[in-house]
Amino acid sequence: MKIIVNGKETIINDNARNLLEALRDVGIEIPNLCYLSETSIYGACRMCIVEVDGQLMTSCSIKPYEGMNVKTHTPEIYEMRRGILELLFASHNRDCTTCERNGNCKLQKYAEEFGIRKVRFDKLDKSNIIDYSSIIIRDNSKCILCGDCVRVCDEVQSIGAIDFAFRGFEAQVMPAFGEELANTNCVLCGQCVAHCPTGALTFRNDIQKVYKAMEEGKYIIGMMAPAVRASIQEELGLENDVVTAGRIVNFLKSIGFNKVFDVAFAADLVAYEEAHEFKERLEKGEKLPQFTSCCPGWVKFAEHNYPEFLENLSSVKSPQQALGSIIKRYYAKEIGIDPEDIYLVSIMPCTAKKFEAEREELSGEVDVVITTKELSQIIRSSGFNLKDIPPVPFDRPYGLSSQSGLSFGKTGGVFSSVLNVLEDELEVESVKTEELEKGIRITTVKTKNGKSITGVVVFGLGNTRKVIDKIKEGNLKVDIVEVMACDFGCIGGGGQPYPNDTRVRTKRSKILSEVVGIDVLISPTENYHMLSLYEKYLKEPLSHIAHEVLHTTYKN
């Protein structure tokens, strides 16, 4: 479709959701504080106003039409946007220097771009209590009432742990009845944090715990999740670098880490164990469909909403916890160090992983979880320039991984790894995949002996709810379901750099595929260090010892 933009004829995408997205596609980024392409359109902030055929209107709420005459930046629009910002600042906490979002806050960015140096209005303070009850921290003095968190939590995740309360100047976002977040049905997925434009929603920063352990002379072991290597580049000026993981290993060693392992190794281990569990359930015809259980946001969601399905969850721990368990119970003995003296630092894209490590039944396996954001802070504050640090391999034996293991970091990775493990035994004849809707894919595998296995790969908890409800109603027959709580899987986790939206997640997904491409091992079954761990310690999949070390239970 042809429209006029700032006096120039411009071809835009006919299927653009609205004018804001159409303009974005042709390279004009319209300022906004409440627009998310993942949720319904709210139109609260008014920052995205443009002039259409002589009238001011919000570009998020208008559909483009042939020949429309759009002006995106006029003196009038500029002044209006400045006015909106000033009004927001009138009641906004301005302690930017100590804010977790200092340097990547959208409001701060616009204040700089629009030259807001002085606010004409007196500062009005709202009553505010900072909610530190959970790993997700809420500070309403920094909230601009854009509602992004409310819509993501409700519309994308189908949880609704937070909503608007009170009216007018007193309006606030909070859990029902003013409860602390820890006492709600929040699953700690961090999607509200990922989409909050300011520092109103952040997560607990645990960097100091790492330094304290170093000071105490602990034997520091780091382990890095697959998705971290596809996103940390965004914070460090390393666009498209596919050997970032190796640079990080070298960096961590140079600041005092004794060993750095790869969580993707444990992903191979988990896929191997989980594939055998699935095979056993298929043979016995019980606890089907089998659900993956490596995403802690999903596990908590299942515990809250679908207790009747808990026995269907794979009882294999997540790769984070499986590796923690192996290191503390087995590796410590191998290297002759008291497990109490080992301090295991897990580097994750995810806020819920902090919670997982603290779950009663898993605690002690991983000592601290820091996110991609926190690792980037450690790197930047150290004065090192990651670009100049040559990559080195992860330490052996838990540094070897297959392409399958690495692909855990994005949607579909766990399911395809389980299939890879079973490939030879199943004698696969054909595989057909169909996208039912965004975030829900269904795959049918036909085997040479005429059997078929159906798997669903789903991301987003709202989508997950739809899938489970269909299974419950008997409208979906499926054998295995992979669930990731965040859109696009772990690469979209709540601990990833900002912005953390569909556009960057798509890029991360591509980078992770390129990183995967470097590795020479394809299937978990080729990971010889993983196989040798079975030989030396775990014996065989689902053995007594494997159950003791690698399996867990869930809470009703």
Interface residues with ligand SF4 (CB under 6 A)? 136, 152-153, 157, 159, 161-162, 186-192
Element holding 50 (H helix, E strand): strand 49-52
Task: Please state, in angstroms and rounded to a whole number, the distance separating the CA atoms of residues 148 and 150.
Answer: 6
Pairing between β-strand 219-224 and β-strand 172-174 as defined by DSSP bridges = unpaired
Distance of CA 185 to the CA centre of its chain: 19
**Partner in contact with 62, chosen from ligand SF4, ligand HC0, none, beta carbon below 5 to 8 Å by kind:** none
Applying CB under 6 A, among 134, 233, 318, 376 the residue interacting with ligand HC0 is 318
Does residue 294 carry a catalytic annotation? yes
Assess whether 490 carries a catalytic annotation: yes
> Which position among 246, 349, 397, 412 is part of the footprint of ligand HC0 (CB under 6 A)?
349
Tell me which of ligand SF4, ligand HC0, none is bound by residue 295, counting a contact when its beta carbon lies within the kind-specific cut-off of 5 to 8 angstroms: ligand HC0
Question: Among residues 172 and 346, whose Cβ is nearest to ligand HC0?
Answer: 346
What does the block give as tokens for 307? 């207790």
> Which of the listed partners (ligand HC0, ligand SF4, none) does 493 bind, with a CB threshold of 5 to 8 Å by partner kind?
ligand HC0
Question: What per-residue string of b and e applies to 278-289 under the rule 16 or more CB within 10 Å gives b?
Answer: bbebbeeeebbb
Contact criterion met (CB below 8 Å) for 67 and 4: yes
- Minimal distance, residue 304 CB to ligand SF4, in Å: 10
- The catalytic residue among 48, 60, 189, 294 is 294
Interaction between residue 489 and ligand HC0 (CB under 6 A):
yes
274 as an active site residue: the answer is yes
CB of 100 to ligand SF4, least distance (A): 15
Strand 163-165 to 172-174 pairing: antiparallel
DSSP assigned state of 393: P
Q: What is the dihedral of CA 381, 386, 388, 389, to 10 degrees?
A: 110
Stretch that binds ligand HC0, among 20-28, 66-74, 186-194, 316-324 (CB under 6 A): 316-324
Q: How far is the CB of 353 from ligand HC0 (least distance, A)?
A: 5
- Asked whether position 263 contacts ligand HC0 by CB under 6 A, the answer is yes
Q: Which residues pair with 344 in a beta bridge?
A: 221
Q: Return the residue of 186, 348, 379, 426 that touches ligand HC0, per CB under 6 A.
A: 348
Centre a 10 Å sphere on the Cβ of residue 531 and count the other Cβ atoms it contains: 16
Active site residue 353: yes
Q: Is 379 in the site for ligand HC0 (CB under 6 A)?
A: no
Contact pick of 18, 108, 244, 320 for ligand HC0 (by CB under 6 A):
320
Active site annotation includes 473: no
- Picked from ligand SF4, ligand HC0, none, the partner binding residue 231 (CB below 5 to 8 A depending on kind) is none
Complex with ligand HC0: residue 108 or 371, whichever CB lies closer: 371
| 3-class DSSP state of 55 | strand
Active site residue 314: yes
Q: In what order do the strands lie in the sheet with 440-447?
A: 290-291, 480-484, 452-459, 440-447, 428-437
The DSSP symbol for 362 reads T
CB 324 within 8 A of CB 266: no
Site size for ligand HC0, by CB under 6 A?
A: 21
The answer to whether 232 contacts ligand HC0 (rule: CB under 6 A) is no
Helix (H), strand (E), coil (C) string for 74-135? CHHHHHHHHHHHHHHHHCCCCCHHHCCCCCCCHHHHHHHHCCCCCCCCCCCCCCCCCECCCC
CB of 515 to ligand HC0, least distance (A): 11
Residue 111 vs 153, nearer CB to ligand SF4: 153
CA dist 191 and 189 (Å) reads 6
Options 101, 218, 300, 353; binder of ligand HC0; rule CB under 6 A: 353
Alpha-carbon span 355 to 368, nearest angstrom: 10
Provide, rounded to whole angstroms, the least separation between the CB of residue 527 and ligand HC0.
13
Neighbours of 208 (CB within 10 A): 9
Q: Which is nearer to ligand HC0, 50 or 225 (CB)?
A: 225
**For residue 69, how many other CB atoms are within 10 A of its CB?**
13
CB of 418: closest distance to ligand SF4 in angstroms?
Answer: 26
Strand order in the sheet with 2-5: 8-11, 2-5, 69-71, 49-52, 55-58
Longest CA–CA separation in the chain, Å: 77
- 412 is a site residue for ligand HC0 (CB under 6 A): no
CB 348 to ligand HC0: min, Å: 4
Q: Does 301 bind ligand HC0 (CB under 6 A)?
A: no
The residue among 190, 146, 188, 191 whose CA lies nearest residue 171 is 146
Q: What tokens does 495 get?
A: 């601990």
Instruction: Tell me the per-residue interface mask from 414 to 433 with ligand HC0, x by CB under 6 A, - otherwise.
Output: x-------------------
- Distance in Å, CB of 458 to ligand HC0, minimum: 14
Q: What is the DSSP letter of 476?
A: -
Q: Is 191 or 292 the residue whose CB approaches ligand SF4 more closely?
A: 191
356 noted as active-site residue:
yes
Number of other CB atoms surrounding residue 360 within 10 Å: 7
Q: Which of 60, 149, 225, 515 binds ligand HC0 (CB under 6 A)?
A: 225
Spot the catalytic one: 60, 490, 509, 523: 490
**Structure-block tokens of residue 503:** 């556009």
Q: Which is nearer to ligand SF4, 20 or 196 (CB)?
A: 196
User: With respect to ligand HC0, which residue has the nearer C-beta, 72 or 416?
Assistant: 416
Q: Which amino acids are annotated catalytic?
A: 274, 277, 294, 314, 353, 356, 361, 490
Residues forming the site for ligand HC0 (CB under 6 A): 225-227, 263-264, 267, 294-295, 318-320, 348-350, 353, 408-409, 414, 489-490, 493
